[in-house]
Structure formats: C-alpha cells, structure tokens
Amino acid sequence: MNKNMMDILACPIDKSHPLELFEIKEKDKIVSEGALFCSKCSRFYPIIEEIPIMLPDELRDKKQEMDFLKKFKDKLPEKIITKANPWHL
C-alpha cells in the first residue's frame, strides 16, 4: 500500500478518517505488511502483501486475520491485538 493512500482511506464501517497506520514492513513509502486502525470504532484492517484488507465484519476472513495477528503479535500495538481484534487472540 502506498502511504499516500492514507489521505483518502476511511473506515468502511463508520467512515472515520484518518486511520492510524502501523507499519511492519515498509520500503520507499510502500507498506507491504502492517495494519490500519480506526480509533472511532476500534477495528483494525490488516495490510497483507501491500493490500489493505478493508471489509465489513461479515466478509472478514477469520483465519487470515488470526494468522496475521499471530505472526505479527510482537510488532503490533496492544490495542490491535486485544481491543481491535474481533477474534480475541
């Protein structure tokens, strides 16, 4: 995800803007792994292979998100691991 997209991205649930960006892997303003966080509704959206996965709750892939959270639990803030995690690791 190009970091310039932060200017236009909003939470798909409550349309809140701006979102918080947590970079795990980044090079030349491109985030290949990371997470977006909505402080209004406390949801997180993973960035996987440069793609922000911003889906409503009913379309979210629980296994994919659990794998993401387990893989990066030491690199993400506590508010994503506990508060924003709908699957509660």
Classify residue 89: in a domain, yes or no.
no
What's the total number of domains in the chain? 1
Mind listing the pLDDT tens digit for each residue in 20-78? Answer: 999 999 999 999 999 999 999 999 999 999 999 999 889 999 999 999 999 999 999 99
Structural domain of 54: 3-83
Classify residue 88: in a domain, yes or no.
no
Is the previous residue joined to 18 through a cis bond, with omega within 30 degrees of 0? yes
d(CA 19, CA 62): 21
Classify residue 73: in a domain, yes or no.
yes
Judged against a pLDDT cut of 80, whether residue 88 lies above it is answered with no
Classify residue 19: in a domain, yes or no.
yes
Q: How far is CA 31 from the centre of its chain?
A: 11
